[in-house]
Amino acid sequence: MITFKDVSKTFTIGKREVHAVRNVNLTIEEGEIFGIIGFSGAGKSTLLRLVNVLENPTAGAVEVQGVDLASLRPTEVRKVRRRIGMIFQNFNLLTSRTVAGNVAYPLKLAKMPRAKIKERVEELLRFVGLSDKAKDYPEQLSGGQKQRVGIARALATSPDILICDEATSALDPDTTGEILRLLKKVNKEFGITILLITHEMHVIQSICDKVAVMEDGEVIESGGVFDTFTSPAHQTTKRFIRSVQQDLPSPSLLDEWRQKGGKQLYRIIFKGEVASDPVLSRVTRKHDIDVNIVYGSVQEIQAKFYGNLLVSFDGDVGKTANAVEELNEIVQIEEVDVTWA
Amino acid sequence: MGVDWQTFWPRIVEATGQTILMVAVTLVIGSIFGIIIGLLLFVTRKGNILENAFLYQIINFLINIIRPIPFIIFLVAISPLTREVIGTTIGTWAAIFPMSIAAAFSIARVVENNFISIDPGVIEAAKAMGASPLQIIYTILIPEALGPLVLGLTFITISLIDFSAMAGTVGGGGLGHVAMTYGYQRFDTSVMIVTVVILIVLVQLAQWVGNTLSRKILRR
């Protein structure tokens, strides 16, 4: 659907060159929700703008539905843009138009007949749940409602692709959840491919199928969300994951643990089905030792379980070693060095 | 007081009509050219939809030359051009010509400033929806900037009333002419007061119309 082939984008600001995007290779398949995560300044915003030709690459090629965007004339670019809806962090609604006027705007640009526009606008407002706000102006709406208008407007021309520029970053957590559910609905009901950028890991965790992590203009890691979440390769990825999932207790709690003569801690990671099996209980019972869960969580990622537990064992040293060995065959288990914490 | 109000009132009414005509015609012509020049200035700015450094520099330079010249000097300075275009340098229409030029360049700057204050994100959104540069101009720039634009034009209208009084001194007619010839040169304070009061009323009226209109557009 969207292919980045060795894409680079360099801005020249005064005499300084800024490499916003470097040698990016990515493929976004039809029907996917693909998330790009990175800290601010990582280049994700520029990468996103290459898809609808708001920016042009300095090297490499961006293909959308098999068409190299660089080969298009301005009038063709404008046609392609109508197949790609875009929503923004700050909504970018037209203040001089009502909610209905904003949603109608792209249809007017596309020269749809007036009666048809009216019908389509009603349909879209119903879809985003804002039928009663049609005559309101943007300043009368809450942030979440504004983004709903943004989404309705982006969907007006029935695009194949929706690109989201930090669409939930200006919203509170509740509203963020609301908008994310709406995006999921857009993806499911209309089969629209979604490419989003964010700096919030929970956005990726809640709706994305695939993820790419960007740093300094480069894609440093990419793949399925579950795999990336459960076995991140890169330090930056780990940092993002830690933002939604604390994997160590706070230093003061660890201190307390040590003062009470705490034992060796192990981290156990369950993925998928094993998370729902009573593995831990079965193995410890078999080896006649006790298990103590010190810290941890079980999460759902892409409809799969992911458990990350910190445990200690009580009992004979030899039996503990045997139990750990057996557990190691079923789940991921490792000793945790807490002396630095 | 040596004024025969019986015969003088029609003179005042005529002069008020001339002033209104000068201001109104100048406002229309000045706005048309001002908006065009201001638009060109804005869209050719760096990073904008029709970026063109050369054109931008030229327009910017022209505005910066014409705007600081005191109007009374500008009026005299371009009188040869006025004679070429209007055929005379005396009378209401001869005043409208230089007034329109001065107004156009002032309005251009006002227009540019109002466009700059539009959120660039909105322009980007319009681009992303497939709007052409021309569509961006008339569906985004003008409607989004209209409220402050009306206030800016109101401000200009009031300085045009001032300009028209100055134009009066060089034969442009209008209230300025009456105030100068009867009030100032003949030391007739009552005529001076009457003309000043009319000018104040005109200014108040213009400001009221401008405020009402912009409030309607901005919904506040």
Which domains, and CATH codes, for chain A?
2-244 (3.40.50.300), 251-336 (3.30.70.260)
CA of residue A318 relative to chain centroid, distance? 44
Q: Is the minimum CB–CB distance between B121 and chain A shorter than 8 Å? A: yes
For B128, the closest chain A residue by CA position comes to: A81
User: What does the alpha-carbon distance between residue A287 and residue A323 come to, in Å, rounded to a whole number?
Assistant: 6
Identity of the residue in A74, A81, A96 whose CB atom sits nearest the CB atom of B144: A96
Q: Which residues of A touch B125 (CB under 8 A)?
A: 86, 88, 92-94
Helix axes B5-43, B189-218, angle to 10 degrees: 40
What confidence tens digit (pLDDT) does each residue in A86-124 have? 999 999 999 999 999 999 999 999 999 999 999 999 999
Cβ under 8 Å to B: A residues 271-330: none
Return the SS3 of A301: strand
Q: Which amino acid is at A70?
A: A
Q: Which residues pair with A299 in a beta bridge?
A: A306
Mean pLDDT for back-to-back runs of 10 residues, chain A (341 residues)? 94 89 95 94 93 93 92 92 95 95 95 94 95 94 96 96 95 94 95 95 92 94 90 89 79 79 83 76 89 84 84 87 88 77 47
Pairing type for strands A33-37 and A210-215 reads: parallel
For residue B140, list chain A residues with Cβ-Cβ distance below 8 A: 94
Question: How much is the pLDDT for A275?
Answer: 67
Structure tokens, B176:
């300025």
- Strands ordered across the beta sheet of A210-215: A84-88, A161-165, A193-198, A33-37, A210-215, A218-224
Q: Mutate which of A75, A92, A164 to test chain B, going by most B C-beta atoms within 10 A?
A: A92
SS3 of A165-185: the string is: ECCCCCCCHHHHHHHHHHHHH
Hey, are the CB atoms on A88 and B139 less than 8 Å from each other?
A: no
DSSP A142-162: -HHHHHHHHHHHHHTT--SEE
Domain boundaries, chain B: 14-218
Q: Is A83 on the interface with B (CB under 8 A)?
A: no
Q: Give buried/exposed letters for A34-73 (b at 16+ CB in 10 A, else e).
A: bbbbbeeebbbbbbbbbbbbbbebeebebbbeeeebeeee
CB distance from A181 to chain B under 8 Å?
no
Residue ranges in chain A assigned as alpha helix (H): 44-51, 74-82, 99-109, 114-128, 143-155, 173-190, 201-207, 225-230, 235-244, 251-259, 279-286, 317-330
Helix (H) or strand (E) holding B36: helix B5-43
Of A54, A75, A95, nearest to B127 by CB-CB distance is A54
Minimum Cα–Cα distance from A154: chain B residue: B129
The DSSP letter of residue B184 is I
Tens digits of residue pLDDT in B47-74: 888 899 999 999 999 999 998 899 889 9
Nearest CA in chain B to A138: B219
The CATH homologous superfamily of the domain defined by B14-218:
MetI-like (1.10.3720.10)
Residue entry with tokens 């009603």: A122
